[in-house]
Amino acid sequence: MFSNTADGFEEKTYLSADGLKLYARNYGAENPAASLPVICFPGLTRNSRDFHELALMLSKDLERPRHVIALDSRGRGRSAWDDNKQNYNLAVEATDVLTACATFGITRAAFIGTSRGGLILHLIAEMKPELLASVILNDVGPVLEPEGLRHIQGYLANQRRPRDWDEAARLLRELHEAEFPVLSTDDWRCMACAIYRDTTDGLVADFDPAIAEAIIAADFSQPLPDLWKQFDAMAEIPLLIIRGENSKLLSKATVEEMLRRHPAARQLIARHQGHAPLLHRDDVAAKIRRFLHDL
């Protein structure tokens, strides 16, 4: 395993079960083991940078500093692109998470999954439930709304390549401001820095284009198979469900059914945010911290 020290975290690389080099950010590894570690994994085309501010907050918490690991799924961020594009699927990516836990010596942790990361957590609840001390699902559940899927499909199909960081932030604001009216100029800039990578050819979206191509080609006229069976495997696991107030992907009806099936679960509405909420903002970060402290 390779390691470099960076701002507030160590960079780690390790190998998947099929030999692909994967990347993670390791925050607060020196923190007391008495507090559960936190494992974060991102959405479809996103990466560990989405969790940077939250991971810093949790790893530097004065009351209970935690060890936080944020993962780049294969084909995203600094993890290697897979030559076999069929491996960009939930089952393989769930196995990658289990490999990461084994690599870092994690036998039990609090898990945060944003969007696709939350779908992976549904699979892990069936595959290895003893790993899950608690689960935070960020704007995702067992049913995904076609409107939200088509919205993602639409902006992936019509990506414009920004000339610089200012234009990147402006393009993101044009695309998403209706769902995220609360975000500041700095927030849009931070989002751009999480989504794009600076290369010798300019800024590029930081994921294997094959991932977007598969979504663009998908037919969302029919609902996807649901994951209620996998969700029910979380019944005994402390659960926080975060829904963006303006989300098109996770409906109020799905959240109500999740709460009915898991009466001990907590719900958090990220006000003035859509899919998927920024977790480091104000009341969202504070409530995540409180949820983790109550474990």
Phi, psi of 206 (to 5 degrees): -90, 65
Residue 276: cis peptide before it, omega within 30 degrees of 0 = yes
Q: Please give the pLDDT value at position 200.
A: 86
The length of the chain, given as a count of residues: 295
* Mean pLDDT of the chain, nearest integer: 94
Give the model confidence (pLDDT) of 233-285 as tens digits: 999 999 999 999 999 999 999 999 999 999 999 999 999 999 999 999 878 99
Among 22, 30, 17, 66, smallest CA distance to 47 is for: 22
- Rounded CA gap, 173 and 167, in Å? 10
What is the number of H-type helices and E-type strands within the chain? 10, 11
Q: Please give the pLDDT value at position 170.
A: 95
- Rounded CA gap, 120 and 123, in Å? 5
Q: Please give the pLDDT value at position 188.
A: 95
Q: Please give the pLDDT value at position 295.
A: 78
Give the model confidence (pLDDT) of 185-223 as tens digits: 999 999 999 999 998 888 999 999 999 999 999 998 887
Give the model confidence (pLDDT) of 143-175 as tens digits: 999 999 999 999 899 888 899 999 999 999 999
Q: Please give the pLDDT value at position 70.
A: 98
Q: Please give the pLDDT value at position 215.
A: 93
Q: Which CATH architecture has domain 2-144+225-293?
A: 3-Layer(aba) Sandwich (3.40)
- Rounded CA gap, 74 and 283, in Å? 31
Phi, psi of 137 (to 5 degrees): -100, 115
